[in-house]
Structure 1
Amino acid sequence: MHVFIGGAYNGKTDYVMTLLEDQEAVLVDGYLPESIPECDVLVIKGLEKWLVTQNLEEDEALVNTMLTRLQALKENRTLYIIVTDMGRGVVPMEKQARLLRDTCGRLYQALFAEAERVIRIWYGIAEQIK
């Protein structure tokens, strides 16, 4: 599994899709697929969009469920995950926004621990951090 993180509109998707231009890649945006698409590389982006639709009060169980589903999705293919950095030290005023930021932080920690590579994208420039 390879994880790419960066701010919104920092060129993460363009960077990843350029890396994969010679491979059979399927891009999924904003949800976890129920069925596993036939492809060599599965690119999942926008997990935070999917998280908004979930019960964030149970974030530990939610993170474990997501990790289990992602493990199943990477069977027989390479998995690339693109996530948006939501923190940067700003604490939102609204409870739901804080829960989303906290859940994303826990999920990202777990993803980074499992990932073979972690790359930060800052305005289209990549920096490998793992």
Structure 2
Amino acid sequence: MHVFIGGAYNGKTDFVMKLLAGQKVELVDGDLPDGTPTCDVLVIKNIEKWLVTQDLEDDEPLVRTILTRLKTLEENCALYIIVTDMGRGVVPMEKQARLLRDTCGRLYQALFAEAEQVVRIWYGIGEQIK
């Protein structure tokens, strides 16, 4: 599993797609795919859009479910995950926004622990942090 993180509109997708040029890539945006992908590389971006549709009150089982699903997907093809950094010390005023930020933080910690590579993207420039 390879994880790429950065702020919104910092060039994460372009960076990853250039990295994967010439490979059979399936790109999933804002969803956790069902079924078995038929590609060399599965790129999942914007998981936080999918998270908005979930119950975030008790996020521990949700994080475990996501990790289990991602590990299953990784059995069939290389897995690249692109996530948006949502924290940066800003605490949203709305409860749902805080729950989303907190759930993303816990999910990202779990993803980073499982990933063999973690890259931070800053305006199109990648910095490997793991």
TM over 0.5: yes
Match of 1:51 in 2: 51
Please say if 1:72 is aligned against 2:59. Answer: no
Query: Taking structure 1 as the reference length, what is the TM-score of the superposition?
Result: 0.99
Please say if 1:25 is aligned against 2:25. Answer: yes
Q: Distance in 1 between matches of 2:56 and 2:82?
A: 20
Q: Distance in 2 between matches of 1:65 and 1:106?
A: 13
What secondary structure is seen at the aligned counterpart in 2 of 1:57? coil
Match of 1:82 in 2: 82
Shift of 1:81: 0.1
Q: Percent identity?
A: 79
Match of 2:39 in 1: 39
Contact 2:7 2:85 in 1 (8 A): yes
Structure 1 residues not aligned, in runs of 5+: none
Shift of 1:73: 0.6
Match of 2:124 in 1: 124
Shift of 1:104: 0.1
Match of 1:3 in 2: 3
Shift of 1:102: 0.2
Q: Distance in 2 between matches of 1:34 and 1:23?
A: 21
Partner deviation per Cα, 1:55-105 (whole Å, 9 max, x = no partner) = 001200100000000010101310000000000000000000000000000
Q: Distance in 2 between matches of 1:85 and 1:13?
A: 14
Query: Taking structure 2 as the reference length, what is the TM-score of the superposition?
Result: 0.99
Structure 2 residues not aligned, in runs of 5+: none
Partner deviation per Cα, 1:4-61 (whole Å, 9 max, x = no partner) = 0000000000000001111111000000111122001000000000000000012001
Q: Distance in 2 between matches of 1:39 and 1:64?
A: 25
Match of 2:101 in 1: 101
AA aligned to 2:50 is W
What secondary structure is seen at the aligned counterpart in 1 of 2:106? helix
What RMSD in Å do the two structures reach over aligned CA positions? 0.5
What secondary structure is seen at the aligned counterpart in 2 of 1:13? helix
